[in-house]
Amino acid sequence: MRVPADAEQIIEKLNEHGFEAYVVGGCVRDSLLGKEPEDWDITTSAKPGEVKAIFSRTIDTGIQHGTVTVMLNRQGYEVTTYRVDGEYEDGRHPKSVDFTTSLLEDLKRRDFTINAMAYNGREGLVDAFGGMEDLENRVIRCVGSAVNRFTEDALRILRAVRFSAQLDFRIEDETYEAISLIAPNLEKVSKERIATELTKLLLSGHPEKMKRVSDTGASRYISEPFFKAAVLSKGELRPLGCLPAVKYMRWAGCLRREQGETAADILRDLKMDCDTMDRVKILVSRWRTPIAAEKPAIRRVMNQIPGDLFDSLLCFQEVFAGEVGEGYGETLKMVKTLAEEIREAGDPVNLKELAVDGRDLMAAGMNPGPALGKTLNALMEQVLERPECNERAYLLRAAGLKNGIKES
Ligand code: ATP
Ligand code: MG
């Protein structure tokens, strides 16, 4: 296994001070799978205060959980003290976090065997729970008793499904059975944590595994409105994988049968961020309407749908072209070509690009007020139809104004 030089350096420095240290969890799993890990987490016998004393630049990321971020060459590495999670009082938070000096104890608290491996250059791989074998057999299995692990933290149920979707792994039988059994505990898990896992599932290579969440009966305890509204057959979910791995696009794909407003309400209930909610709402309300393959119509859509969302809309319609209408895929190809021409020509498609603004109209004698906005919109409409009209003098004339003097 190849550990980046910086992480190696942190481990060595901890060793020099008499502490154990390993890379652990997701990064070990991913590099064993031949994937580049997103971040390298380090687990150590050093207490947070000791870690802070050793490294010159650190951030208190989650001191109460034993996590300190060590900054090295502008990169942050999370260094966490070996810990055992205390009893979970509400299936949500461990009552207490106790530090330990045993790596094994720390590995034992982790959710799945494939996430419970550690590595360093001196000792090689520490795999106490058969994680390597499960990686080879492509299996998600809890560390220890699945029922107990899900009872401690029900979010692990969704993590199991999410990892099975990201890695395309099977969920081992005992683990799968425990999911159905403990699913009611998901009611106690915060919506934010749930939404994070569902988003990761949707962004994975196998979004169709969302179906598994309802198959296990877990959906009832997560968000009934979402699972009622979402497309859930494999055939309908699979095309989601053809959408770019962009959060709002995948959620919109899932909710594409809904009204925009309802989709937004469902996401609000899942404590989704406003930007995602707004974008999903626009896509979901707009995608079913075909766009005509003619420039004025395309410019109008560009005018209604801000910036990059227009491209997302085309992309969305492309994936679900068959659902928009028969033969729409062909129309869409022409729409794309024409949209490119519109952009190359720099045709004005929004008020900012109009050759006159409110101040111009007022300087030309118009009074401020609603009529002014109406006039601007009417001029915009003309320019969307005929971009060559986007000329100051022409537009002022068209508005019944002339070079600063209101025509009588
Ligand atoms: P990724 O970051 O790619 O989503 P990951 O495995 O790194 O995957 P994280 O959520 O970053 O997942 O957690 C890091 C490690 O912490 C996991 O690999 C696992 O060992 C442990 N872990 C995280 N969440 C839990 C949990 N709810 N219960 C038990 N162990 C957990
Ligand atoms: Mg991680």
Please give the ipTM for the structure prediction. Answer: 0.98
C-alpha dihedral sign at 123, 99, 104, 92: negative
Element (DSSP H or E) covering residue 99? strand 97-99
Mean pLDDT of 93-119: 92
Altogether, the residues listed in the chain come to a count of: 408
Nearest listed ligand to the Cα of residue 199: 1
Residue located nearest, by CA, to atom 21 of ligand 1: 110
Show me where the domains of the chain are located: 1-128, 287-345, 351-406
Pocket test for ligand 1, best of 109, 115, 143, 199 (most atoms within 8 A of CB): 115
- Ligand 1 contact, 140 CB (< 6 A): no
pLDDT for 30-64, tens place per residue? 999 999 999 999 999 999 999 999 999 999 998 88
What single letter denotes the amino acid at residue 369? G
* Cβ atoms of residues 390 and 382 within 8 Å: no
DSSP state of 366: P
- CATH assignment of 1-128? 3.30.460.10
Q: For ligand 1, atom 15, name the residue with the nearest CA.
A: 25
What are the pLDDT digits (tens) for 379-392? 999 999 999 999 99
Q: Is 162 in the pocket of ligand 1 (CB under 6 A)?
A: no
The pLDDT of residue 27 is 98
Check residue 64 and give its pLDDT.
86
DSSP state of 125: E
Q: Whose CA is nearest to atom 27 of ligand 1?
A: 156
Mean pLDDT of 109-132: 97
Query: Between the CA atoms of 288, 294, 295 and 300, what dihedral angle is there, to the nearest 10 degrees?
Result: -30
Question: Is residue 111 lining ligand 1, measured as CB closer than 6 Å?
Answer: yes
Q: What is the mean pLDDT of residues 328-347?
A: 97
| C-beta 115 within 6 A of ligand 1 | yes
Find out whether the beta carbon of 110 lies less than 6 Å from any atom of ligand 1: yes
